[in-house]
Structure 1
Amino acid sequence: MTINSKRVVVVTGGASGIGLGISKLFAASGHPVAMLDMQEAALERESAALAAAGAKVLGLKTDVSDRGQVEAAYAAVRKTLGPIAIVIANAGISVSADFRTLSIEAWQRMIDVNLTGVFHTLQPAIADMADAKWGRIVTISSQAAQSGAQDRAHYAASKGGVIGLTRSLARELAPLGITVNTIPPSLVDTPLARAGEAAGQVPPLEVIAQMIPIQRPGTPEDIANACEFLCSDKASYITGQEINVNGGSWM
């Protein structure tokens, strides 16, 4: 992959699931990686494991819905790793709720993390990319925003906002040498998905997978591979796109 290994990568939600898969791949490719996550124990464990394997990695406990925390994390990233060149805005939450009884507080928390959190994640990083006349942004949205999702209207709405934000930024930032794309995953085998399965909130992932043309759940590595390509020089003419890494479940 033709990509400068010295470019600093920020991955939000980088200590578990899809985010961890992304963090691992970029670290293995030689990038300095900042992992931002709310899960302190996972953050410490996974960043230590990557560092022990020789990666240059920085773990920072960060709530992306809090602008002050994001800006403090970015100051630490710049001081320790250098200017930010690549941002993978992956952090998010997903909670089922009947729309008829959905509380205002639950709606607002979903928007605060999944949509406003992406705003907080991206806006303070753009100056570094503009200075370098090179930048890559990938947002992780969701197939729920494309197809709708029963009992998760607030989640689908928040991720739909991410797709709209991605397209708008792609137009606005292209003259600065920055590309902006989104990946809307479908079924991905993550600890969060398995926890939902164990709690009886969703059928077994292998059962759901039978409805997907490629009959298996996605993996964090599947998403990470697409992120790596989109952040490479080979993808310099790709911006404003939804890259559907979903096994064919949405076409």
Structure 2
Amino acid sequence: MAELTGRIALVTGGGRGIGRSVALSLASAGADVAVTARSPKELDETAAAIRALGRRAEAIVCDVSERTQVDAMVARVKTALGDPLILVNNAGIAASAKLTDTTDEMWDRMLRVNASGAFYCTRAVLPLMLAAKWGRIVNMASVAGRAGAPYIAAYTASKHALLGLTRAVAAEVASRGITVNAVCPGYVDTEMTDASAANIVKRTGRTEEDARKILEGFSPQGRLMTAPEVAAMTTYLCSDVARGINGQGIVLDGGALQS
């Protein structure tokens, strides 16, 4: 198990799903964890679960697509817990549409949350990591950051941008004790995937059970990935034993997309 005692972690999109699982996994490994998202209730629930594990927690409402909110949020983390030397950029949104139906607003919002949000958070915490000569950044990308798919042009572009950011920053700080990696899950059993299934039902008239089978069929294992699986990989990448892994986009999809 990863050993993170004494470390301070910041997890964006930490109110539910993958983000909550990551926050609890990091706390189980010994880290104190700040979580941020837009839902106060969900954040408070995550923070309470972290404290139940015996770790300190801070819940902060923040829209990562707004730079001023990000800067204020990081300042609050420093005051409440200390310098966050672990950053998990998990906040993200998804939507599907034909390219010709993709609006400017959809495109811009997708890029602002999924790519610019990670940029703002990384830029805000990187000076702390450079000063400490240690840091771990994990960006929650997607298999859509490694390959294209129909009807998700905006989402795919945003995740490709996030993977590009991962590689560029990893190269920039490789000699400074900092690693930057991305986790690229396939469909994960979360509320976001529930929304994808509902969209299939709406578009095709299939049953919800059939829609979930379609999504499960994208993996050769015939199943959805789980949030704890993604969290375990993320926590490993934050550990000292993973210090040789840098600039990678690690796929978790049961073998559909092979490196």
- TM-score, structure 1 as length reference: 0.95
Matched, 1:244 2:251: yes
Matched, 1:234 2:206: no
> What secondary structure is seen at the aligned counterpart in 1 of 2:252?
coil
Structure 2: how far apart are the matches of 1:194 and 1:217?
A: 11
**Where in structure 2 are the equivalents of 1:1-251 lying within 5 Å?**
1-198=1-198, 200=201, 204-251=211-258
> What secondary structure is seen at the aligned counterpart in 1 of 2:21?
helix
Following superposition, the deviation at residue 198 of structure 1 comes to 3.8
1:3-46 C-alpha deviation (Å, 9 max, x unpaired): 33111011110111111110111112221001111122211222
Structure 2: how far apart are the matches of 1:88 and 1:46?
A: 15
Structure 2: how far apart are the matches of 1:41 and 1:2?
A: 29
8 Å Cα contact 2:2/2:29 also seen in 1: no
Structure 2: how far apart are the matches of 1:156 and 1:242?
A: 14
Q: Which runs of 4+ in 1 moved over 4 A?
A: none
Following superposition, the deviation at residue 195 of structure 1 comes to 3.3
Letter in 1 for 2:73: A
Note closer, same or farther for the CA distance 1:186–1:78 as it changes in structure 2 (3 Å cut): same
1:169-211 C-alpha deviation (Å, 9 max, x unpaired): 1100112111001111111000221233245258533442234
Letter in 1 for 2:237: L
8 Å Cα contact 2:4/2:26 also seen in 1: no
> What secondary structure is seen at the aligned counterpart in 2 of 1:30?
coil
Structure 2: how far apart are the matches of 1:229 and 1:19?
A: 15
Note closer, same or farther for the CA distance 1:241–1:221 as it changes in structure 2 (3 Å cut): same
Unaligned runs of 5+ in 2: 203-207
Following superposition, the deviation at residue 155 of structure 1 comes to 0.5
8 Å Cα contact 1:37/1:43 also seen in 2: yes
User: Cα RMSD between the aligned structures?
Assistant: 1.6
8 Å Cα contact 1:115/1:158 also seen in 2: yes
8 Å Cα contact 1:206/1:217 also seen in 2: no
Give the % identical residues: 37
**Paired residue total:** 251
Structure 1: how far apart are the matches of 2:47 and 2:101?
A: 39
Letter in 1 for 2:116: T
Following superposition, the deviation at residue 146 of structure 1 comes to 1.7
> What secondary structure is seen at the aligned counterpart in 2 of 1:184?
strand
State the match for 2:205 in structure 1.
none
Following superposition, the deviation at residue 53 of structure 1 comes to 4.2
Structure 2: how far apart are the matches of 1:100 and 1:163?
A: 25
Note closer, same or farther for the CA distance 1:235–1:52 as it changes in structure 2 (3 Å cut): closer
Following superposition, the deviation at residue 127 of structure 1 comes to 1.0
Letter in 2 for 1:95: A
8 Å Cα contact 2:184/2:252 also seen in 1: yes
